[in-house]
Amino acid sequence: MIRTYKCRVRLSKPGHERLGEIFAMSAELYNACLEERIDCYRKTGESRSYYDQCKALTEVRAELPEFADINLQVFRGVLGRIDKAYKSFFRRVRTKEKAGFPRFKSGRRWRTIEINDQAWHMLKREGSKFVLKVKGLPRIEVKPSRELPPNNLLKAIRITRKPLRTEVALSYDLQAPEAKPVSNPVGIDMGVSKRLTLSNGETVEKREIDRKRLIRLQRSVSRKKKGSNNRRKAVSLLAKEWQRLTDKERDYLHRLSAEIVKMYGFIAVEKLRTKSMLRNRNLAKSIQEQAWGRFITLLNEKAESAGVKMVEVDPKGTSQECSSCGATVQKNLSVRTHKCSCGYEADRDVNAAINILHRGISIAGGNLTRMAGRMREKRGVALARPRTVLESVN
């Protein structure tokens, strides 16, 4: 199992300048490789492969000393990036999606160095510090926020310059833990009125972005003349504000997903098709703000690391089906309370979360017994909900 540790770094001013030079060289190499692939296809009807361009890179390094002075793996990461872009393009063509042919890159917009081979010997420990030593790159002091795994498990390094800081992502190949015994199962329904609703009635409030400062900064960018230094400064301020919001949201989702994994031994979630849902113009903005996909990714990673079983289920009909008797009760989005002829009444999202839990247990191979009587539990003004009993989950 691959796990990535993101760490802040310490760089001198000359180090930042040197890193900028290497980003510009990487963009130059990327553009040259893209142009070569396009020309080759026009002349021969065939494209250049990753291995062909690796051989050409050897010739480039022999002719240009500035490329030879930098570790080979830095530029092989560039070749891997364009190869991945081409493969993704043809995959989208086959599946009849919007293709999006790879584009030429500006040197100012290139902000990443990827090292996917021989990474284990580049991270050195000097006393209590970690230092990244790569030929041609400046000295990069890594400041991890937690203990790092052994170096022999390090598989990839990614150096990224962000608006607020430069970060290093260290990817380790770790052994998956043993699965924990299943206990305290939960189903999770995701929405826009409530970000999360759990099958036990717990809820997580929706995310609302305070856009006042963003709007002011965006207007400031719009007023500046294109290409001017003032516009470049305004763009930088806007990017930093977005970075602050992104970091805050990422930290919150990490803590939220970790807490859910810690509390529950079996998790069932919806397998949502967000792209299709974004076609609804009235809800698209709210859906994007809730970041369901990012939350599910983090939850899945933490569940796997903790040995907790997590399954994704088809959400179709979970809001319409009665979690007590299984009957279908049609209702539109404006109806927030589920009422069934069997007498069961509950919040719409709680009912859906219980159905998600039922389906998750079925997928996992367990047996679910729905009690004939319902446990009526008062949570303020909350409505009663049925009791579920998990007999076994494989």
**Would you state the pLDDT for residue 335?**
81
Q: Which of 46-60, 145-159, 211-225, 359-373 has the lowest mean pLDDT?
A: 359-373
Q: What are the structural domains of the chain? A: 2-173 (no CATH), 185-392 (3.30.420)
247-273 pLDDT tens trace: 898 899 999 999 999 988 889 998 888
CA nearest 114: which of 207, 22, 18?
Answer: 22
Mean pLDDT of 38-46: 90
The one-letter amino acid code at 8 reads R
Give the three-class secondary structure for 195. strand
Contact indicator for 364, 267 with CB cutoff of 8 Å: no
**Residue 242: pLDDT over 50:** yes
The CA distance from 319 to 30, in Å, is 49
Mean pLDDT of 218-232: 93
- Helix then strand then coil, in percent of the chain rounded to 5, is 45, 20, 35
Proportion of the chain above pLDDT 70, given as a percent: 92
CA nearest 138: which of 9, 4, 29, 8?
Answer: 9
**Residue 393: pLDDT over 50:** no
344-389 pLDDT tens trace: 888 888 888 888 888 888 887 754 443 223 323 332 333 333 333 3
Mean pLDDT of 209-236: 92
* Residues in the chain, overall count: 394
CA nearest 394: which of 326, 306, 324, 311?
Answer: 311
59-71 pLDDT tens trace: 999 999 999 999 9
Neighbours of 97 (CB within 10 A): 11
**Would you state the pLDDT for residue 389?**
32
Cβ burial of 24 (10 Å; 0-12, 13-18, 19+) is middle
Neighbours of 5 (CB within 10 A): 17
Q: Which of 27-41, 187-201, 317-331, 362-376 has the lowest mean pLDDT?
A: 362-376
**Would you state the pLDDT for residue 383?**
32
